[in-house]
Amino acid sequence: MITIFTILGAPVLRSKGIPIVTWYAHRQVTLTLKLAHYFSHRMISTDEVSYPFHRDKLTTIGQGIDVNLFSPNPVPIDEPPLLLSVGRISPIKDLVTLIEAMHLLRERGYSLRCALVGNCPDPSAAYAETVRQKVQSLNLEDSVQFVGPVPNDQLTQWYRRAFAHVNCSPSEHSLDKAVLEAMACGKPSLSSTLGFKETMGQWTDRLVFQHSNPANLAKKIEGLLRLSDGERLAMGMSLRERVMKGHNLEHLADRVVALLGSLRQPVNLTEQIGASEVRHR
């Protein structure tokens, strides 16, 4: 993610024929990214959406989820059902949509709670206040909890207690790790980010909702609430298998090493021996 290192190292590395691979996963296009792309033999990112520049050198390798830490546990889910949203409180997370969807479900007679787990960066303080005011205006103070930041070893317990996780980031946003962590814990994870379709597979229609559309999100949540415990469990285990296949931390380094290996030029022993003889003469 430090593209300036690519630019600084490129004159020496390329002159010696040493391949350069640069990692980048962010929506911002900068001059240093453009230069790093030019100098690199390959660019790697979690998925295509996470890389905002040209795709001619791009290789996607998925996220790195610790599936041993984020794992299922047969603990009872909370009653009333708990909706969980993990991530910082900032405009790009669009938490107002989640709060409005909660309100719609309450009007339809569903008893739900919602926990917002994550910190609030200083620049987003005004947005956090907007979310709190929305909670108050819809009379949801008894149902929405602002948890704050939580360490990873405690975060797993929140995923296990929830009946579903919700992420409201934009359609073209990069893959949010919280969505995959929830799936790794065997929980349905709703998202408006289209890049998750491949991982969600057969469950896409149930789990992907329209960005900034509370009514559509409420409809998807209602669909999950109508499933039996066994049906939700089967969905969760299927999603965990897909995360283990495509986003397992244990496989991430192997993918990077395989890519580096594919760029290594085979040694020409004849040329090597000839060069050695020239040097000795």
Are the C-beta atoms of 66 and 155 separated by less than 8 Å? no
The reported pLDDT for the residue numbered 90 is: 92
pLDDT in tens, 185-205: 999 999 999 989 989 999 999
* 245 sits in which H/E element: helix 229-246
| Encoded amino acid at 238, one letter | S
SS3 60: strand
Q: Give the integer Cα–Cα distance in Å for 50 and 184.
A: 21
Task: Give, to the nearest 10 degrees, the angle between helix 214-225 and helix 95-107.
Answer: 60
- Residue 225 burial by Cβ neighbours in a 10 Å radius (0-12, 13-18, 19+): middle
Q: Give the integer Cα–Cα distance in Å for 192 and 216.
A: 10
Q: Give the integer Cα–Cα distance in Å for 248 and 115.
A: 26
Averaged pLDDT score across all residues of the chain: 89
Confidence of residue 265 (pLDDT cuts 50, 70, 90): low
pLDDT in tens, 72-112: 987 677 789 999 999 999 999 999 999 999 999 999 999 99
Domains of the chain by start residue, with CATH: 3-62+248-280 (no CATH), 82-246 (3.40.50.2000)
- pTM of the predicted model, to two decimals? 0.83
pLDDT in tens, 2-32: 999 999 999 999 999 899 999 998 888 999 9
And the tokens for 172? 């073209």
**275 or 224, greater pLDDT:** 224
Q: Give the integer Cα–Cα distance in Å for 248 and 241.
A: 10
The reported pLDDT for the residue numbered 77 is: 75
Q: How many CB atoms lie within 10 A of CB 65?
A: 23
The reported pLDDT for the residue numbered 1 is: 82
